Structure 1
Amino acid sequence: MMPRSSSASPSDEPHVAGVDEAGRGPLAGPLVVAAVILNPAREIPGLGDSKALSAKRRDALFDLIQERALAFCVQVIDVERIDAINIFQATMAGMRESLCGLPIPAALARIDGNRLPPDLPCPAEAWVGGDARDAAIGAASILAKVTRDRLLLALDARFPQYGFARHKGYGTAEHLAALREHGPCPAHRRSFAPVRLCAERDLFG
């Protein structure tokens, strides 16, 4: 899937980008990574860790971020790429590509977590718990999560037997039971152990 990006008129202040991802742990669906440069002249109240917000609040902030941010880029890493290079490398690549895809270059990137990808286009800092500490990282968290949740709703319409709309691909008891009953579908990450074991069971009976 092509990345989405946008920009507004840049200010004279140094451009600090926040970067975060959604979907490292699930057994199915893509990984989504976002980078956001906020506009200090257009405040967005209530930014923070997307997981701590209601779905309704995330949706409202999703629209405000896209309207008011100086620039943003959302990268979707599909299941095939995750399986080919592993989830860690996919996450590092998505973070790098989201920064490179910003239509306004960042002077500094603040990346949620404790690891920095190589070959970034600007200096960077790793911020553990950054989505709750930095507004730009919080904005990236919201863009990534809402984008991914909407993609999982679309997958639920294609593969309703797995319950993707409810668990968003995470390894819940409901999801694992559906995997055992139906086997993996094209949206599942076959490099992840629970999915791989179900696929091997179906292959070898």
Structure 2
Amino acid sequence: MNEYLNIIAGVDEAGRGALAGPVYAAAVVLDYRYRIEGLDDSKKLTPKKREQLSAIIKQKSICWSVSSIDVNEIDRINILQATLLAMKNAILKLKRQPNLVLVDGNQSPELEYKVLKIVKGDSFVPAISAASILAKTERDKEMLNLHYQYPSYLFNKHKGYGTQEHMILLKNHGPCKEHRKSFSPVKDLINM
């Protein structure tokens, strides 16, 4: 029997709630012959642990992919649609197309594959946990790049999320081109 007959992809996103930067999604097809210890929701892991696991996931998985949607597209189609599009693109970029897609949360992109939506799946479904880790580590790298382009906003620290520090910097400097203009705190500053 072919061990790859059932190709199960886990999918998750990172950056949906941020005020700046792209939204990322990852899709991962784990090779269940290799157990990866420590998989969990990326938010529960330290940056160092995420990086370690990211390398192992990329090495030990049958296949994986990452996709992102930029700020302009987020503002144009809204964050939910942008997130679903990033998920769909990540799935379609997989080298092996899945028979089943496990999506973290209660909404999923329209796909021609069987899809199961699993709320909090990133905490207990290994393939979704792996996708959560890849999406988060890849987005964090991009936010570090944006920090070098826009050092005044300290994207390296808060990763674009609406922390108190970010809100103060946003008020002091106004939004940059990587801020999501359709999000209330940013929109409110523009309309002042």
Question: What is the SS of the residue equivalent to 1:28?
Answer: coil
Q: Structure 1: which 5+ runs fail to align?
A: 1-9
1:112 equivalent in alignment to 2:104: yes
Q: What is the identity, as a one-letter code, of the residue corresponding to 1:182? A: H
Displacement of 1:121 after TM fit? 3.0
Deviations 1:89-129 (A, max 9, x none): 111111111111111010000000011222x0310000000
| Counterpart Cα distance in 1 of 2:26 and 2:166 | 26
Q: Which residue of 2 aligns with 1:168?
A: 159
Displacement of 1:42 after TM fit? 2.2
1:128 equivalent in alignment to 2:119: yes
Deviations 1:51-70 (A, max 9, x none): 11111110000001100100
Question: What is the SS of the residue equivalent to 1:144?
Answer: helix
- Count of matched residue positions in the alignment of Structure 1 and Structure 2: 191
1:199 equivalent in alignment to 2:190: yes
Q: Report if the CA contact (8 A) 1:99-1:121 is conserved.
A: no
Pick the aligned partner of 2:34 from 39, 42, 46. Answer: 42
Deviations 1:144-192 (A, max 9, x none): 0000111111111111111111111011111111111111001100010
Q: Report if the CA contact (8 A) 1:108-1:123 is conserved.
A: yes
Question: What is the SS of the residue equivalent to 2:65?
Answer: strand
Displacement of 1:29 after TM fit? 0.6
Displacement of 1:16 after TM fit? 0.5
Q: Which residue of 2 aligns with 1:23?
A: 15
Runs of at least 4 residues of structure 1 off by over 6 A? none
1:180 equivalent in alignment to 2:158: no
Q: Which residue of 1 aligns with 2:43?
A: 51
Question: What is the SS of the residue equivalent to 1:106?
Answer: coil
Q: Structure 2: which 5+ runs fail to align?
A: none
Question: TM-score by structure 1 length?
Answer: 0.90
Q: What is the identity, as a one-letter code, of the residue corresponding to 1:152? A: M
Q: Which residue of 2 aligns with 1:6?
A: none
Q: Which residue of 1 aligns with 2:148?
A: 157
| Counterpart Cα distance in 2 of 1:12 and 1:190 | 44
| Counterpart Cα distance in 1 of 2:183 and 2:160 | 12
